[in-house]
Amino acid sequence: MTSTDRPRLAVRSPADLIAAVPYLLGFHPADSVVVVAMRGRRITFAARADLPGLADPRDPARHLAGVIVRQGAETTTVLGYGPAARVTPAVDAVRAALAVAGLPVLDALRVTEGRYWSYVCTEPECCPPDGIRFDAGASEVSAAAVFAGQVALPDRAALVAQVAPVDGPGRVAMRRAAARAERRLVALLDKAPPAELRDGSAVRAAGAAAVRGALRRHRRGQRLGDDEVAWLSLLLTHVPVRDHAWGRTDGRDEDIALWTDVLRRAEPELIAAPAALLAFAAWRAGQGALAAVALERCLAEHPGYPLALLLDDLLRRGVPPSELDGWPAGAMPGVVRHRRSRRGPR
Protein backbone atom coordinates (compact mmCIF):
# COMPACT_ATOMS: atom_id res chain seq x y z
CA MET A 1 0.00 0.00 0.00
CA THR A 2 1.30 3.41 -0.87
CA SER A 3 0.99 6.73 0.84
CA THR A 4 1.20 9.71 -1.51
CA ASP A 5 2.61 12.40 0.76
CA ARG A 6 4.91 13.71 -1.93
CA PRO A 7 5.26 16.47 -4.53
CA ARG A 8 1.94 16.88 -6.32
CA LEU A 9 1.59 15.55 -9.84
CA ALA A 10 -0.95 17.21 -12.12
CA VAL A 11 -3.22 14.40 -13.38
CA ARG A 12 -5.70 15.61 -16.01
CA SER A 13 -6.51 12.47 -18.00
CA PRO A 14 -6.48 8.67 -17.81
CA ALA A 15 -3.12 8.69 -19.58
CA ASP A 16 -1.72 11.03 -16.92
CA LEU A 17 -3.00 8.74 -14.17
CA ILE A 18 -1.44 5.70 -15.83
CA ALA A 19 1.84 7.60 -16.06
CA ALA A 20 1.61 8.53 -12.35
CA VAL A 21 0.87 5.05 -10.97
CA PRO A 22 4.45 3.71 -11.18
CA TYR A 23 5.66 6.70 -9.16
CA LEU A 24 2.89 6.20 -6.60
CA LEU A 25 3.88 2.56 -6.17
CA GLY A 26 7.62 2.86 -6.71
CA PHE A 27 7.67 0.40 -9.62
CA HIS A 28 5.86 -0.35 -12.87
CA PRO A 29 3.01 -2.77 -12.10
CA ALA A 30 2.30 -5.88 -14.17
CA ASP A 31 -0.35 -8.57 -13.69
CA SER A 32 -1.82 -6.33 -11.01
CA VAL A 33 -4.94 -4.53 -9.95
CA VAL A 34 -4.38 -1.04 -8.52
CA VAL A 35 -6.83 1.20 -6.70
CA VAL A 36 -6.04 4.91 -6.59
CA ALA A 37 -7.83 6.75 -3.80
CA MET A 38 -8.70 10.45 -3.95
CA ARG A 39 -9.95 13.03 -1.54
CA GLY A 40 -11.35 15.95 -3.49
CA ARG A 41 -9.03 16.39 -6.46
CA ARG A 42 -5.97 15.06 -4.65
CA ILE A 43 -4.61 11.53 -4.92
CA THR A 44 -4.04 10.34 -1.37
CA PHE A 45 -3.22 6.66 -1.62
CA ALA A 46 -2.59 3.79 -4.00
CA ALA A 47 -2.98 0.10 -3.23
CA ARG A 48 -1.87 -2.82 -5.41
CA ALA A 49 -2.48 -6.55 -5.43
CA ASP A 50 -1.45 -9.34 -7.75
CA LEU A 51 -4.15 -10.37 -10.17
CA PRO A 52 -6.04 -13.18 -8.46
CA GLY A 53 -6.88 -16.45 -10.13
CA LEU A 54 -10.14 -16.59 -12.02
CA ALA A 55 -11.68 -19.02 -9.50
CA ASP A 56 -12.47 -16.45 -6.83
CA PRO A 57 -11.20 -12.87 -7.18
CA ARG A 58 -13.53 -11.60 -4.44
CA ASP A 59 -11.33 -11.96 -1.34
CA PRO A 60 -8.47 -9.79 -2.70
CA ALA A 61 -11.13 -7.33 -3.87
CA ARG A 62 -12.70 -7.04 -0.43
CA HIS A 63 -9.27 -6.63 1.11
CA LEU A 64 -8.35 -3.80 -1.27
CA ALA A 65 -11.68 -2.09 -0.65
CA GLY A 66 -11.20 -2.32 3.10
CA VAL A 67 -7.73 -0.80 2.86
CA ILE A 68 -9.02 2.09 0.73
CA VAL A 69 -11.89 2.77 3.15
CA ARG A 70 -9.40 3.12 6.01
CA GLN A 71 -7.69 5.96 4.09
CA GLY A 72 -10.75 8.19 4.24
CA ALA A 73 -11.05 8.19 0.45
CA GLU A 74 -13.94 9.97 -1.25
CA THR A 75 -13.56 8.56 -4.78
CA THR A 76 -11.46 5.93 -6.50
CA THR A 77 -10.14 4.77 -9.84
CA VAL A 78 -9.38 1.12 -10.54
CA LEU A 79 -6.66 0.02 -12.96
CA GLY A 80 -5.95 -3.52 -14.09
CA TYR A 81 -2.69 -4.47 -15.77
CA GLY A 82 -2.64 -7.49 -18.05
CA PRO A 83 -4.79 -9.45 -20.52
CA ALA A 84 -8.56 -8.97 -20.49
CA ALA A 85 -9.29 -12.57 -19.47
CA ARG A 86 -7.49 -12.04 -16.16
CA VAL A 87 -8.01 -8.32 -15.62
CA THR A 88 -11.75 -8.02 -16.23
CA PRO A 89 -12.92 -10.41 -13.45
CA ALA A 90 -10.53 -8.78 -10.99
CA VAL A 91 -11.58 -5.23 -11.88
CA ASP A 92 -15.25 -6.20 -11.72
CA ALA A 93 -14.76 -7.73 -8.28
CA VAL A 94 -12.91 -4.68 -6.98
CA ARG A 95 -15.56 -2.32 -8.36
CA ALA A 96 -18.28 -4.38 -6.68
CA ALA A 97 -16.40 -4.37 -3.36
CA LEU A 98 -15.90 -0.61 -3.52
CA ALA A 99 -19.60 -0.13 -4.29
CA VAL A 100 -20.53 -2.19 -1.23
CA ALA A 101 -18.18 0.01 0.80
CA GLY A 102 -19.93 3.12 -0.54
CA LEU A 103 -16.96 4.43 -2.50
CA PRO A 104 -17.67 5.83 -6.00
CA VAL A 105 -15.49 4.58 -8.85
CA LEU A 106 -14.75 7.44 -11.23
CA ASP A 107 -13.20 5.17 -13.85
CA ALA A 108 -11.97 1.62 -14.30
CA LEU A 109 -9.20 0.96 -16.81
CA ARG A 110 -7.36 -1.97 -18.31
CA VAL A 111 -3.76 -1.25 -19.27
CA THR A 112 -1.56 -3.42 -21.44
CA GLU A 113 1.06 -3.06 -24.17
CA GLY A 114 0.89 0.72 -24.41
CA ARG A 115 -2.91 0.90 -24.64
CA TYR A 116 -5.74 1.37 -22.19
CA TRP A 117 -9.47 0.62 -22.24
CA SER A 118 -12.19 2.05 -20.01
CA TYR A 119 -14.78 -0.24 -18.45
CA VAL A 120 -16.92 2.82 -17.68
CA CYS A 121 -16.97 4.74 -20.96
CA THR A 122 -18.78 3.05 -23.83
CA GLU A 123 -18.56 5.88 -26.38
CA PRO A 124 -16.50 4.68 -29.37
CA GLU A 125 -15.58 8.29 -30.24
CA CYS A 126 -13.50 8.69 -27.07
CA CYS A 127 -13.01 5.05 -26.04
CA PRO A 128 -12.58 2.97 -29.23
CA PRO A 129 -12.84 -0.84 -29.01
CA ASP A 130 -9.17 -1.31 -29.84
CA GLY A 131 -8.11 0.93 -26.95
CA ILE A 132 -6.27 4.22 -26.70
CA ARG A 133 -2.54 4.32 -27.26
CA PHE A 134 -0.45 6.25 -24.73
CA ASP A 135 3.23 6.94 -24.11
CA ALA A 136 3.82 7.19 -20.37
CA GLY A 137 7.45 8.16 -20.91
CA ALA A 138 6.43 11.25 -22.84
CA SER A 139 3.92 12.37 -20.22
CA GLU A 140 4.44 15.62 -18.32
CA VAL A 141 3.55 13.64 -15.20
CA SER A 142 6.56 11.35 -15.67
CA ALA A 143 8.84 14.31 -16.30
CA ALA A 144 7.54 16.11 -13.20
CA ALA A 145 8.00 12.98 -11.06
CA VAL A 146 11.57 12.49 -12.23
CA PHE A 147 12.32 16.18 -11.69
CA ALA A 148 10.98 15.84 -8.13
CA GLY A 149 13.37 12.96 -7.49
CA GLN A 150 10.79 10.18 -7.57
CA VAL A 151 11.82 6.78 -8.89
CA ALA A 152 9.79 4.07 -10.61
CA LEU A 153 11.68 0.78 -10.85
CA PRO A 154 11.08 -1.46 -13.89
CA ASP A 155 9.08 -4.00 -11.88
CA ARG A 156 8.63 -5.44 -8.40
CA ALA A 157 11.52 -7.85 -8.97
CA ALA A 158 13.86 -4.85 -9.13
CA LEU A 159 12.56 -3.78 -5.73
CA VAL A 160 13.17 -7.26 -4.31
CA ALA A 161 16.73 -7.07 -5.65
CA GLN A 162 17.32 -3.96 -3.53
CA VAL A 163 17.08 -6.04 -0.35
CA ALA A 164 18.74 -9.21 -1.69
CA PRO A 165 21.82 -10.47 0.18
CA VAL A 166 25.25 -9.61 -1.15
CA ASP A 167 27.11 -12.58 -2.59
CA GLY A 168 30.53 -13.42 -3.95
CA PRO A 169 33.56 -11.86 -2.26
CA GLY A 170 31.32 -9.52 -0.27
CA ARG A 171 29.55 -12.48 1.36
CA VAL A 172 32.84 -14.20 2.14
CA ALA A 173 34.14 -11.03 3.77
CA MET A 174 30.96 -10.65 5.84
CA ARG A 175 31.14 -14.28 6.99
CA ARG A 176 34.63 -13.63 8.32
CA ALA A 177 33.51 -10.38 9.92
CA ALA A 178 30.62 -12.22 11.63
CA ALA A 179 33.07 -14.70 13.15
CA ARG A 180 35.16 -11.80 14.47
CA ALA A 181 32.02 -10.18 15.91
CA GLU A 182 31.14 -13.39 17.77
CA ARG A 183 34.63 -13.51 19.32
CA ARG A 184 34.29 -9.84 20.26
CA LEU A 185 30.98 -10.51 22.00
CA VAL A 186 32.46 -13.44 23.93
CA ALA A 187 35.33 -11.20 25.06
CA LEU A 188 32.86 -8.48 26.12
CA LEU A 189 30.87 -10.95 28.21
CA ASP A 190 34.03 -12.44 29.75
CA LYS A 191 35.13 -9.01 30.96
CA ALA A 192 31.73 -7.77 32.15
CA PRO A 193 31.04 -7.64 35.92
CA PRO A 194 28.54 -10.29 37.11
CA ALA A 195 25.86 -7.66 37.76
CA GLU A 196 26.06 -6.42 34.17
CA LEU A 197 25.77 -9.95 32.89
CA ARG A 198 22.68 -10.62 34.99
CA ASP A 199 20.81 -7.48 33.93
CA GLY A 200 22.14 -7.43 30.36
CA SER A 201 23.46 -3.90 30.70
CA ALA A 202 26.84 -4.76 29.17
CA VAL A 203 25.24 -5.85 25.89
CA ARG A 204 22.73 -2.98 25.99
CA ALA A 205 25.50 -0.41 26.40
CA ALA A 206 27.53 -1.89 23.56
CA GLY A 207 24.43 -2.09 21.38
CA ALA A 208 23.37 1.49 22.08
CA ALA A 209 26.86 2.71 21.17
CA ALA A 210 26.83 0.68 17.95
CA VAL A 211 23.38 1.96 16.96
CA ARG A 212 24.25 5.58 17.68
CA GLY A 213 27.49 5.30 15.74
CA ALA A 214 25.82 3.65 12.75
CA LEU A 215 23.00 6.20 12.56
CA ARG A 216 25.47 9.07 12.93
CA ARG A 217 27.74 7.70 10.22
CA HIS A 218 24.93 7.16 7.74
CA ARG A 219 23.40 10.55 8.40
CA ARG A 220 26.79 11.97 7.42
CA GLY A 221 26.76 9.94 4.21
CA GLN A 222 29.36 7.41 5.40
CA ARG A 223 29.09 3.64 4.88
CA LEU A 224 29.78 1.12 7.62
CA GLY A 225 32.69 -1.26 7.34
CA ASP A 226 32.23 -5.03 7.38
CA ASP A 227 33.19 -5.35 11.04
CA GLU A 228 30.77 -2.58 12.00
CA VAL A 229 27.89 -4.25 10.16
CA ALA A 230 28.70 -7.64 11.66
CA TRP A 231 28.95 -6.23 15.21
CA LEU A 232 25.76 -4.22 14.87
CA SER A 233 23.73 -7.07 13.38
CA LEU A 234 24.89 -9.43 16.13
CA LEU A 235 23.98 -6.99 18.90
CA LEU A 236 20.57 -6.37 17.31
CA THR A 237 19.60 -9.96 18.13
CA HIS A 238 19.18 -8.69 21.70
CA VAL A 239 15.69 -7.21 21.87
CA PRO A 240 16.61 -4.18 24.08
CA VAL A 241 19.25 -3.21 21.51
CA ARG A 242 16.77 -3.71 18.66
CA ASP A 243 14.23 -1.55 20.49
CA HIS A 244 16.86 1.13 21.08
CA ALA A 245 17.44 1.22 17.30
CA TRP A 246 13.70 1.10 16.62
CA GLY A 247 13.03 4.15 18.78
CA ARG A 248 15.65 6.11 16.85
CA THR A 249 14.66 5.06 13.35
CA ASP A 250 12.43 7.28 11.22
CA GLY A 251 11.57 7.67 7.55
CA ARG A 252 14.77 9.54 6.73
CA ASP A 253 16.56 8.55 3.55
CA GLU A 254 19.67 7.92 5.67
CA ASP A 255 17.83 5.50 7.96
CA ILE A 256 16.44 3.59 4.98
CA ALA A 257 19.92 3.46 3.45
CA LEU A 258 21.46 2.22 6.71
CA TRP A 259 19.05 -0.64 7.34
CA THR A 260 19.04 -1.63 3.67
CA ASP A 261 22.82 -1.90 3.77
CA VAL A 262 22.85 -3.85 7.04
CA LEU A 263 20.10 -6.19 5.82
CA ARG A 264 21.93 -6.98 2.60
CA ARG A 265 25.28 -7.62 4.28
CA ALA A 266 24.23 -9.35 7.52
CA GLU A 267 24.44 -13.13 7.82
CA PRO A 268 21.07 -14.86 7.18
CA GLU A 269 20.60 -15.82 10.83
CA LEU A 270 21.02 -12.16 11.82
CA ILE A 271 18.72 -10.40 9.33
CA ALA A 272 15.47 -10.33 11.33
CA ALA A 273 16.07 -7.07 13.19
CA PRO A 274 17.63 -5.10 10.28
CA ALA A 275 14.83 -6.23 7.95
CA ALA A 276 12.13 -5.17 10.43
CA LEU A 277 13.87 -1.84 11.05
CA LEU A 278 14.09 -1.23 7.29
CA ALA A 279 10.40 -2.09 6.96
CA PHE A 280 9.53 0.34 9.75
CA ALA A 281 11.62 3.14 8.22
CA ALA A 282 10.14 2.54 4.76
CA TRP A 283 6.59 2.44 6.16
CA ARG A 284 7.19 5.72 8.03
CA ALA A 285 8.41 7.24 4.76
CA GLY A 286 5.37 5.99 2.87
CA GLN A 287 7.45 3.49 0.87
CA GLY A 288 5.11 0.60 1.45
CA ALA A 289 6.46 -1.51 -1.42
CA LEU A 290 9.96 -1.43 0.03
CA ALA A 291 8.57 -2.23 3.48
CA ALA A 292 6.71 -5.20 2.01
CA VAL A 293 9.75 -6.79 0.34
CA ALA A 294 11.86 -6.25 3.47
CA LEU A 295 9.23 -8.06 5.54
CA GLU A 296 8.99 -10.84 2.96
CA ARG A 297 12.71 -11.47 3.26
CA CYS A 298 12.57 -11.33 7.06
CA LEU A 299 9.62 -13.72 7.39
CA ALA A 300 11.08 -16.15 4.87
CA GLU A 301 14.11 -16.60 7.14
CA HIS A 302 12.43 -15.94 10.50
CA PRO A 303 8.68 -16.64 10.12
CA GLY A 304 7.81 -15.98 13.76
CA TYR A 305 9.70 -12.72 14.33
CA PRO A 306 7.20 -10.63 16.35
CA LEU A 307 8.12 -7.14 15.14
CA ALA A 308 7.98 -8.27 11.50
CA LEU A 309 4.57 -9.87 12.07
CA LEU A 310 3.31 -6.66 13.69
CA LEU A 311 4.54 -4.47 10.84
CA ASP A 312 3.23 -6.92 8.24
CA ASP A 313 -0.23 -6.68 9.82
CA LEU A 314 -0.11 -2.86 9.79
CA LEU A 315 0.98 -2.86 6.16
CA ARG A 316 -1.64 -5.35 4.99
CA ARG A 317 -4.41 -3.42 6.74
CA GLY A 318 -3.22 -0.18 5.15
CA VAL A 319 -2.75 1.62 8.46
CA PRO A 320 -1.41 5.11 7.62
CA PRO A 321 1.82 6.02 9.44
CA SER A 322 0.15 9.26 10.58
CA GLU A 323 -2.15 7.22 12.83
CA LEU A 324 0.88 6.18 14.88
CA ASP A 325 2.95 9.36 14.84
CA GLY A 326 5.55 9.22 17.58
CA TRP A 327 5.40 5.42 17.85
CA PRO A 328 7.39 3.81 19.33
CA ALA A 329 9.26 6.92 20.45
CA GLY A 330 6.27 8.15 22.45
CA ALA A 331 7.07 5.53 25.06
CA MET A 332 10.77 6.37 25.10
CA PRO A 333 11.56 9.64 26.93
CA GLY A 334 14.13 11.82 25.29
CA VAL A 335 13.57 10.50 21.78
CA VAL A 336 12.19 13.08 19.39
CA ARG A 337 10.84 11.87 16.07
CA HIS A 338 11.13 14.15 13.06
CA ARG A 339 8.92 12.57 10.40
CA ARG A 340 9.57 13.23 6.73
CA SER A 341 7.17 11.17 4.68
CA ARG A 342 7.87 10.56 1.07
CA ARG A 343 6.73 7.76 -1.07
CA GLY A 344 5.34 4.59 -0.38
CA PRO A 345 3.55 -0.61 -1.22
CA ARG A 346 2.61 -2.61 -2.54
What average pLDDT does the chain have?
86
When mean pLDDT is compared across 66-70, 91-95, 204-208, 222-226, the lowest value belongs to 66-70
Amino acid making up residue 73:
A
Same domain, 196 and 238: yes
Residue 147: the pLDDT is: 58
What's the DSSP call for residue 321?
G
Predicted confidence band of residue 341 (pLDDT cuts 50, 70, 90): very low
Same domain, 29 and 63: yes
* Last residue in a domain, options 154, 185, 212: 154
> Using one digit for the tens of pLDDT, what is the confidence trace for 244-276?
999 999 888 899 999 999 999 999 999 999 999
Residue 342: the pLDDT is: 36
Same domain, 21 and 126: yes
**What range defines the domain where residue 62 resides?**
2-154
Residue 344 lies in a domain: no
Residue 200: the pLDDT is: 87
> Using one digit for the tens of pLDDT, what is the confidence trace for 105-120?
999 999 999 999 999 9
> Using one digit for the tens of pLDDT, what is the confidence trace for 47-100?
999 987 645 555 778 888 988 988 888 999 999 999 999 999 999 999 999 999
From residue 305, alpha-carbon distances to 75, 129, 207, 251, 288 in Å are: 37, 50, 19, 22, 19
Q: In whole angstroms, give the CA distance from residue 117 to residue 131.
A: 5
Same domain, 204 and 112: no
Same domain, 67 and 175: no
* Last residue in a domain, options 129, 154, 179: 154
Question: Comparing 139 with 24, which gets the higher pLDDT?
Answer: 24
**Mean pLDDT in residue range 185-190:** 95
3 state SS for 169-217: HHHHHHHHHHHHHHHHHHHHHHHCCHHHHHHCHHHHHHHHHHHHHHHHH
Question: Comparing 144 with 247, which gets the higher pLDDT?
Answer: 247
Same domain, 218 and 88: no
